[in-house]
Structure 1
Amino acid sequence: MLSGPGRCIKNVTLSHNLTTTFSFITYEVKNRIATVTLNRPEKRNALNGAMVAELQQAFKQAGDDDAVKVILLTGAGDAFCAGADLEYLQQLQQNTFDENLADSKALMQLMQQIYHHDKIVIALVQGHAIAGGCGLVTLCDLSYAVPEALLGYTEVKIGFIPALVSVFLVRKTGEGRARELLLTGKLVSADKAQAYGLINEVVPKAEITDYVNKIAAGLCEEAAANSLKVTKQLIGMVLDKPLDEALEQAARLNAQTREHAECRRGIQAFLNKEKLAW
């Protein structure tokens, strides 16, 4: 609805609340925010093949839903995610190489799905995030943790390797920090994780849910969906291409975005000194 100068223009969309039932996670859509919750608190939200498959399904569902603008990833109980489930690790030892490769590729596909997702993904880390759990945090666009949370990649301590997450961690923190975290396998405090660039902010436990939901709501209300999607693509593209090629692609995306309906509406509102609610 258009309004006079100084008043708000709203891009009216069909808003809905939706809850979908899974076995190892929960999925809920409310006020354009899809909340994906790792829901094995008795197992410290440890990952197994079934949970990875459900996460893939949930992120696809959020991507296909025009009423979803932001995805919030969190955990139930005291831990965000303790990494791989012990029974799952035992099963992997019985697998053939081809079975382990297929399993690894399933996790790889989930990581690619989160990292390249069209929607902004925010991690609310309400407890420890270890190994694969810390890997999930690494993939998110924005991450917020409670002061009590410990984060780290402990794979080398059990003779394993943080193979897939290393690709993303080097991008996020730089080679030096990635070497320190991955080679030592040490757990670091939330404050140190923030200093390393692994998370964005440390927020008290009593405040973090409201704080992160306000950030998510702000993205929903104050930024155009297409602008968020394309900006995320630009950030991911920078390290993949030579400078001149990246600039050429950025120029093309710039030109394409200027033709988008959201951009036209946003510029019109700016010129008319009207506040726009997305």
Structure 2
Amino acid sequence: MAFEHILYDVKDRVASITLHRPEKRNALNGAMVAELRAAFKQAETDPDVKVIILKGAGEAFCAGADLEYLQQLQLNTREENLADSKELMQLMQQIYYHDKIVIAQVEGHAVAGGCGLVTLCDLSYAVPAAKLGYTEVKIGFIPALVAVFLVRKIGEGRARDLLLTGRLITAEKAADYGLLNEVIPADSIAEHVARVANDLCTGASANSLKVTKKLITGVFDQPLDNALEQAARSNAETREHTDCQRGIKAFLNKEKMVW
């Protein structure tokens, strides 16, 4: 598929998805959401992709919703707005439940829906100058969809702080809150993220990563006893998987396993 608003590239089992509207600070509109959905689907079905890096072109990671897009929403019917909201909902579900590990490389501000994208990623790294926040309440809107995921990620108290105040916080504070994994200097963040992605590609089983991610994302979807039953079943199934058999054999023989 040819993309207009994003860039898609695969190299060394890593798919790079780049938001590419730098003149609009990579703001989201319906077309970009559709292209992101297509790109994540392409990466999911590509056997040569093991890890995905999500980043933005230019000075911003993503400024949230495009202003022209927001103006158009005011003219939509409720049914049209619901359909549009569900497109964004499905993108969020797609990233959160994706079979592959998704890493956010945040080299500029991530605001509103842009910060929502960061929230969904498995691992997130940002430069010190980046500001992050959910500013929807400041324009009479609500961070409805991202709230579901943010509470899971950083807890209710901190989610209330960010979502109700709409304030922007520093990358350092975002890391302290658990929204980011680490703050990395601007001149080395690309190298750092590439190294993390490579380590995942070569140092861990693809099946183990997929099943572990599924276990983590499923914890809040069911009662504790059900989650434990599912964990036990996954444990037993994984022991039968070729990756586990190969990995244990290499460990016992003191051989380095390269996945």
TM over 0.5: yes
Residue 92 of structure 2 aligns with an amino acid whose one-letter code is M
SS at match of 1:239: helix
In 1: Cα distance, 2:181 partner to 2:209 partner? 18
Residues 152 and 186 in structure 1, CA contact (< 8 A), matched pair in contact too: yes
Give the alignment of 1:14-29 within 5 angstroms.
Answer: 21-29=2-10
Give the alignment of 1:76-155 within 5 angstroms.
Answer: 76-155=57-136
CA deviations over 1:184-203 (Å, ceiling 9, x no partner): 00000000000000000000
SS at match of 2:17: strand
CA deviations over 1:133-170 (Å, ceiling 9, x no partner): 00000000000000000000000000000000000000
Residue 252 (structure 2) aligns with: 271
SS at match of 1:277: coil
Residue 185 (structure 1) aligns with: 166
In 2: Cα distance, 1:136 partner to 1:243 partner? 28
SS at match of 2:18: strand
Q: Where do 5+ consecutive residues of structure 1 fail to align?
A: 1-19
Q: Do structure 1's residue 236 and structure 2's residue 217 form an aligned pair?
A: yes
CA deviations over 1:206-242 (Å, ceiling 9, x no partner): 0000000000000000000000000000101111211
SS at match of 1:74: strand
In 2: Cα distance, 1:53 partner to 1:244 partner? 38
SS at match of 2:9: strand
SS at match of 1:275: coil
SS at match of 1:182: helix
TM-score scaled by length of structure 1: 0.93
Q: Where do 5+ consecutive residues of structure 2 fail to align?
A: none
In 1: Cα distance, 2:219 partner to 2:207 partner? 19
| Count of equivalent residues | 259
Residue 129 of structure 2 aligns with an amino acid whose one-letter code is E
Residue 186 of structure 1 aligns with an amino acid whose one-letter code is R
TM-score scaled by length of structure 2: 0.99
In 2: Cα distance, 1:25 partner to 1:245 partner? 40
Aligned partner of 1:210 among 186, 191, 211: 191
Aligned-residue sequence identity (percent) comes to 73
Residue 73 of structure 2 aligns with an amino acid whose one-letter code is L
Residues 21 and 27 in structure 1, CA contact (< 8 A), matched pair in contact too: no
Residue 191 of structure 1 aligns with an amino acid whose one-letter code is E
Aligned partner of 2:176 among 180, 195, 198: 195
In 1: Cα distance, 2:89 partner to 2:98 partner? 14
Question: Where in structure 1 do 4 or more consecutive aligned residues deviate above 6 Å?
Answer: none
Once structures 1 and 2 are overlaid, which stretch shifts more, 230-239 or 107-116? 230-239
Higher relative contact order (CA 8 A, sep 6+): 1
Residue 151 (structure 2) aligns with: 170
In 2: Cα distance, 1:21 partner to 1:75 partner? 18
Residues 128 and 151 in structure 1, CA contact (< 8 A), matched pair in contact too: yes
Larger Rg: 1
